[in-house]
Amino acid sequence: MKACEYQQITPGAPAQAPAPRRPRRKWEVFPGRNRFFCDGRLMLARQSGVFLLTLGLILSTTCLFFVFDCPFLTQHLTFAIPIIGGILFFFVMCSLLRTSFSDPGILPRATPCEAADLEKQINDTGSSMYRPPPRTKEVMINGQVVKLKYCFTCKMFRPPRALHCSVCDNCVERFDHHCPWVGNCVGKRNYRFFYTFLLSLSFLTAFVFACVITHLILRSQESGFLNTLKETPASVLELVVCFFSVWSILGLSGFHTYLVASNLTTNEDIKGSWSTKRNSEDLGNPYSHKSIITNCCAVLCGPLPPSLIDRRGIVEPEPLLPLTTKSESVSLGTKSDTSLDAACQDFAISCTA
């Protein structure tokens, strides 16, 4: 049995300071349902399985095309085919990764002080104790009244066109939709890259589809159609994948082209927010510039707004409360009980509101 070792502590000696903790960054305590990579520089939704499927389909189909189709087409037709395919593939991958790993325009949640101040303002506007105060505000945009709704999760009034995503649990500015194929929300900061991804993917899918058909036709003239299918199973697989995907991709590209030309979002178009059937007054979309070219420039060519969540910022430590003596705690006992009852009553009223 080992002998216990004791060390005498001299009275009045300074205590050893605790080891300094590593400062935490804000992405480590981010409240939304996101995953971060490269020390917060890249972000993605937690449910990213469909995004990996999208990435795998694009990479596998394009690799099969360059390995099994491009050599034959280059030899019999032109050297421009692999060059065009490579350029389209480059645009597809760049726009996809930029859409998936960037901040879509997440709005930071209100701090406890800001939330308490906003709750006080809302409660002050209530007409009586029996009727909960309103959770909406009205603002004028281009002569049209737009309602701002209160977000109970983020504790703030959402700006116009913003919406809370139930998948990522974040309020996103100019929310379009949550796209599982790219593994991220599509909002104000990444919509232009999402639209570029759709256009470039449409051109790439149609290009590969046409080249594979040309490859099979040229080979069938030499060895017959059935023998060609047996000799080139990779080309047949590419043909099937492109055939079933090109129509949906082209349709989605056309739909978002209409949205860009009208300065609408997918959420607004599905809900019919600015349709004349829903609104009695024929005012139309207050965000439209009444010109297709101006709308396209405003959506796609405007300056990219900065990120508001400061993912790589340092989390500031909470201030330590001063210690109270026993006499002070006894004297403040009755006051704390009454203040606690009042606080609980206010909290219950705010929860039922």
pLDDT at 345 over 50: no
Q: How far is CA 162 from CA 28, 170, 176, 316, in A?
A: 25, 10, 9, 28
**Do 123 and 263 lie in a common domain?**
no
pLDDT at 338 over 80: no
345, part of any domain: no
Report which residue type is found at 245.
Answer: S
349, part of any domain: no
Instruction: Give the pLDDT score at 330.
Output: 40
**Do 98 and 233 lie in a common domain?**
yes
- Which of residues 133 and 30 earns the better pLDDT score? 30
Instruction: Give the pLDDT score at 129.
Output: 54
169, part of any domain: no
179 belongs to the catalytic site: yes
pLDDT, one tens digit per residue, over 52-107 is 999 999 999 999 999 999 999 999 888 999 999 999 999 999 999 999 999 999 99
pLDDT, one tens digit per residue, over 169-182 is 999 999 999 999 99
| Average pLDDT for 189-204 | 96
Contact 83, 70 (CB under 8 A): no
Angle CA(318)–CA(320)–CA(323) in degrees, nearest 5? 160
pLDDT, one tens digit per residue, over 117-170 is 887 877 776 554 545 556 778 888 887 888 888 888 888 889 999 999 999 999
Report how far residue 353's alpha carbon sits from residue 351's, in angstroms, rounded to the nearest whole number: 5
Question: Is 219 strand, coil or helix?
Answer: helix
Q: Helix axis angle, 49-64 relative to 80-100, nearest 10°?
A: 170
Instruction: Give the pLDDT score at 327.
Output: 45
pTM of the model: 0.80
Instruction: Give the pLDDT score at 11.
Output: 58
pLDDT, one tens digit per residue, over 271-323 is 887 775 555 555 678 888 889 999 999 999 988 999 998 888 888 776 554 54
Instruction: Give me the number of domains the chain comprises.
Output: 2
**Do 212 and 80 lie in a common domain?**
yes
**Do 221 and 245 lie in a common domain?**
yes
165, part of any domain: no
pLDDT, one tens digit per residue, over 32-60 is 888 999 888 899 988 888 999 999 999 99
**Do 96 and 118 lie in a common domain?**
no
Instruction: Give the pLDDT score at 226.
Output: 84
Instruction: Give the pLDDT score at 96.
Output: 96
Report how far residue 175's alpha carbon sits from residue 267's, in angstroms, rounded to the nearest whole number: 7
**Do 199 and 291 lie in a common domain?**
yes
**Do 120 and 185 lie in a common domain?**
no
The overall average pLDDT reported for the chain is: 81
pLDDT, one tens digit per residue, over 215-253 is 999 888 877 878 888 888 888 999 999 999 999 999 999
7, part of any domain: no
Contact 283, 143 (CB under 8 A): yes
Residues 165, 179, 211, 242: which is the catalytic one?
179
Containing structural domain, residue 182: 26-105+177-301
46, part of any domain: yes
* Sign of the Cα pseudo-torsion (37, 43, 46, 50, in order): negative
Q: What percent of the chain has pLDDT over 70?
A: 78
* DSSP notation for 50-109: HHHHHHHHHHHHHHHIIIIIHHHHHHHT-THHHHHHHHHHHHHHHHHHHHHSS---BPPP
**Do 197 and 252 lie in a common domain?**
yes
pLDDT at 187 over 90: yes
Report how far residue 102's alpha carbon sits from residue 59's, in angstroms, rounded to the nearest whole number: 21
